[in-house]
């Protein structure tokens, strides 16, 4: 997965650097490359859940099942007599393929994610989820367009294939072609297929070998899907920030007969979030794209614990003799989760750290902040000026057209230019 992410970064950087409107800017460089990821992977070692190992001198560690995706784990660290647990991403209870999150009780400090700290999802069974997917497929196919599903390559794609495969075997959906257009998802699905007999929910069969499933590797074959109608297309990335899903959105968003189905979390500032929240136009690969497709969502495929499950996981880790850190969530989610925990445990030390802060951790004592963070970086978190600009740019022409006279439009443009220049001058003075 790291190698794939590095390859995508290189591809995206190359594509953007070739754009004419970026000629005067410094070249974009990827955070890391495919070669970097492969070099890092070659240094990895495996460790069994629950078994202590020494990652570096002075530290002991062991993994606990996090129930998020295949191989996910919470990390327990022990150093200088201080015991710390880092939750990592926690999965929900009763998730396909996974056992529920686990771990021991009693730590000095616990660091817990807060992705869904502000919401309790509707509790639905696997059967109910499958029935809802069946309904979405039926409605999308009745419209005559494609059903495009942005899907994370690892586990989300396989969960969808599990449900689609079972629906197909039971004759509950028509003869619909399913294209899995993600080389990484295809590789991961092969791993799931090889071990399908050992996975929960597969009934001991290779559900991924259904004849309706077409795994797309070649980019030219991917482009030919532009001419396909009445199909299900699964493509990464799940938040629409990169990968082949952007290509499919480019061609399906303007089609009023197509359906875009979101099945996972869409982070603030992501293209997926922008589309889901009702944008009428978006910008993809330098092109303005009208949103005419039907936008839908299904709950039940999330790989994250909701509020009640996070609270239960934290409670099972007590006693926490030092501090509980809440991170990895939007401000609203973190704040609400903190308030609920504080109300139940008013004497607890609960910290919501900011990026750049440094804390001292000691046994049986509340954490002590040694360094404050960077305010400018903190204010920028969760915001993406590129997507904000794209939203502004695609709507600018329409907004200017609403102004009644040519003179008034010219004045509006000049005032916008002056405002932008004033911000640039302010930056220089600083």
Model confidence pLDDT, tens digit, residues 170-206: 999 988 999 999 999 999 999 999 988 777 778 778 8
Whole-Å CA distances, 248 to 109, 185, 213, 223, 291: 45, 16, 18, 9, 13
Global pTM exceeds 0.85: no
Model confidence pLDDT, tens digit, residues 280-295: 989 898 888 999 999 9
Residue 384 pLDDT greater than 80, yes or no: no
Residue 11 pLDDT greater than 80, yes or no: yes
The domain segmentation of the chain, as residue ranges, is 45-120+303-380, 126-297, 385-429
Torsion angle of C-alpha atoms 103, 107, 111, 114, degrees rounded to 10: 60
Residue 267 pLDDT greater than 90, yes or no: no
Closest C-alpha among 129, 355, 391, 195 to residue 275 = 391
Other Cβ atoms less than 10 A from the Cβ of 97: the count is: 20
Q: Whole-angstrom Cα distance, residue 107 to residue 128?
A: 38
Model confidence pLDDT, tens digit, residues 130-149: 999 999 999 999 999 999 99
Residue 41 has what pLDDT?
93
Whole-Å CA distances, 368 to 66, 114, 294, 317, 365: 27, 21, 50, 21, 9
What is 45-120+303-380's CATH topology?
Metallo-beta-lactamase; Chain A (3.60.15)
Whole-Å CA distances, 401 to 72, 282, 367, 391: 51, 18, 56, 16
What is 126-297's CATH topology?
Rossmann fold (3.40.50)
Average pLDDT, the chain: 91
Topology alike, domains 45-120+303-380 and 126-297 = no
Q: Whole-angstrom Cα distance, residue 90 to residue 198?
A: 22
Q: Which residues contact 279 (CB under 8 A, 6 or more apart)?
A: 291, 391
Q: Which of residues 332 and 430 earns the better pLDDT score?
A: 332
Mean pLDDT of 242-263: 96
């Amino acid at each position: 997965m790291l190698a794939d992410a590095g390859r995508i970064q290189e591809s995206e950087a190359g594509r953007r650097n070739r754009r004419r409107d970026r000629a005067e800017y410094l070249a974009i460089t990827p955070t890391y490359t495919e070669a970097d990821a492969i070099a890092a992977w070659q240094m990895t070692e495996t460790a069994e859940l629950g078994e202590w190992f020494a990652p570096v001198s002075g530290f002991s560690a062991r993994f606990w099942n996090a129930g998020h995706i295949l191989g996910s784990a919470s990390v327990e660290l022990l150093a200088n007599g201080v015991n710390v647990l880092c939750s990592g991403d926690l999965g929900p209870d009763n998730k396909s393929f996974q056992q529920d999150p686990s771990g021991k009780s009693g730590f000095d400090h616990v660091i817990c994610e807060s992705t869904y700290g502000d919401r309790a999802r509707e509790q639905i069974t696997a059967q109910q989820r499958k029935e809802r997917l069946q309904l979405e497929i039926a409605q999308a196919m009745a419209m005559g367009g494609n059903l495009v599903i942005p899907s994370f390559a690892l586990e989300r794609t396989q969960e969808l294939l599990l449900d689609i495969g079972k629906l197909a075997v039971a004759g509950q959906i028509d003869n619909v072609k399913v294209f899995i257009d993600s080389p990484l998802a295809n590789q991961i699905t092969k791993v799931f297929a090889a071990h399908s007999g050992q996975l929960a929910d597969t009934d001991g069969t290779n559900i991924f070998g259904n004849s309706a499933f077409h795994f797309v590797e070649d980019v030219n074959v991917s482009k030919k899907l532009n001419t396909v109608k009445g199909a299900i297309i699964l493509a990464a990335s799940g938040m629409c920030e990169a990968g082949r899903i952007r290509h499919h959105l480019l061609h399906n968003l303007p089609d009023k007969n197509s359906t875009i189905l979101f099945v996972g979390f869409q982070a603030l500032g992501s293209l997926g979030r922008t589309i889901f929240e009702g944008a009428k136009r978006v910008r993809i690969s330098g092109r303005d794209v009208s949103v005419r497709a039907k936008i839908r969502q299904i709950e039940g495929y999330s790989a994250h614990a909701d509020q009640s499950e996070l609270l239960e996981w934290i409670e099972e880790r007590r006693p926490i003799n030092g501090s509980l850190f809440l991170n990895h969530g939007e401000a609203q989610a973190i704040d609400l989760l903190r308030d609920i925990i504080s109300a139940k445990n008013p004497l607890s030390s609960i910290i919501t750290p900011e990026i750049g802060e440094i804390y001292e951790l000691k046994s049986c004592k509340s954490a002590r902040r040694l360094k404050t963070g960077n305010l400018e970086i903190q204010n920028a978190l969760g915001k993406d000026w590129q997507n904000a600009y794209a939203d502004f740019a695609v709507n600018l022409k329409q907004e200017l057209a609403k102004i009644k006279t040519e003179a008034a439009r010219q004045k509006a443009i000049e005032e916008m230019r002056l405002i932008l220049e004033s911000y640039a001058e302010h930056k220089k003075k600083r």
